[in-house]
Amino acid sequence: MSHFPSEQLLTFATVLSEGTLDAAARLLHITPSAVSQRLKALEQSAGRVLLQRSNPAQATEAGEVVLRLARQVAQLEADAGRELGLSADAAQLAVPIVVNADSLAVWFLKALAQVPGDLNVTFDLHRDDEQHSTSLLRSGTVMAAVTATPEPVQGCRVESLGVMRYRAVAAPHFVERWFPGLDKGFDGATLNAATTVDFDRKDTYQWAFVQWAFTAEGRPVPGRKGPRHYVPASQDFGDAIRLGLGWGLIPEVQCGPDIADGRLIELAPGRPFDVQLYWQRWRTASRVLDVLSETVRDVSARYLRRPGIVGTL
């Protein structure tokens, strides 16, 4: 069985997190030549190419396996150092996590703020759509994820967190222009023609809502028709809708006060869009991941609805 020295694994993971050999060398306080030699030795032990030497550097398929190992070794070493009472610097661990933008804006940072300081961890947050975030778990890039995927990634455990509820909303002057007869009934064709605000090109929630509108009317679902704005930041996304750039789905906890005050109008009252969220983390034993998971579980319960209350679109 091949042996992978921890210093080679650390160097490999650092190159991928920093993006280049030079940046990794600066962080590790060694020369770029030493970084290159460690990578070469690691690839010789693995018997295959592990790193695409692009800018930024990328792991190959085999490299993703080794990266996952490197992260796990770093985690176990940090836990052992903590139990042995080593210095804070020696025991410190950076925990990479992938989180969707709305969870990050609504509740996840509050969870991180409640992680006990004596754990001596830092957090490396990656933002990705909850429908796609498990790819970073598979690649070994992150140790844990807030995701909409209930099937556990290999080597991970999964638990339900709850439901993030969204409401389809628009500014009053936008409604006057595009939905003048909203009080008399909902019109899927008008909704499909109206300008939409999407978070990014992975965001399918607004389109799912359009599909529901046509299904509710008993009409065949057409293709996307209306123009779209892309606003890839949670606060700015909501502001774009409040300013009347288009309609979209905003988490209920963020838009509820605006609906109550009349600054936003709900397009389909009584028909929320619910997204079930899950917490996936490495299965390896770790006090850091155990404490983090418990904190995420407790804080998310204050902001997410219990699953199973209503169906999703």
Residue 173 forms part of a structural domain = yes
Question: Could you tell me the pLDDT band of residue 2, with boundaries at 50, 70 and 90?
Answer: low
Domain boundary among 71, 92, 115: 71
Domain boundary among 18, 48, 71: 71
Cβ atoms of 274 and 164 within 8 Å: the answer is yes
Residue 176 forms part of a structural domain = yes
Q: What is the CATH number of the domain that holds 247?
A: 3.40.190.10
pLDDT at residue 181 in the model: 79
Q: What is the CATH number of the domain that holds 49?
A: 1.10.10.10
How does pLDDT run across 136-170, given as a tens digit for each residue?
888 888 999 999 999 999 889 999 999 999 999 99
Residue 179 structural domain:
165-274
pLDDT at residue 310 in the model: 41
Residue 245 forms part of a structural domain = yes
Residue 160 forms part of a structural domain = no
- On the question of pLDDT at 235 being above 90, the answer is yes
pTM above 0.85, yes or no: no
Number of domains, the chain = 2
Residue 93 forms part of a structural domain = no
- On the question of pLDDT at 250 being above 90, the answer is yes
- On the question of pLDDT at 285 being above 90, the answer is no
Note the maximum CA span of the chain: 72
**Mean pLDDT within 22-50:** 91
pLDDT at residue 87 in the model: 53
- On the question of pLDDT at 34 being above 90, the answer is yes
Domain boundary among 71, 86, 114: 71
Question: Could you tell me the pLDDT band of residue 116, with boundaries at 50, 70 and 90?
Answer: very high
Residue 76 forms part of a structural domain = no
61-83 and 6-18 are packed helices; what angle lies between their axes, rounded to 10 degrees?
Answer: 110
Residue 302 forms part of a structural domain = no
- On the question of pLDDT at 195 being above 90, the answer is yes
pLDDT at residue 231 in the model: 97
Q: Which residue has the higher pLDDT, 213 or 247?
A: 247
Q: What percent of the chain has pLDDT over 90?
A: 56
Residue 124 forms part of a structural domain = no
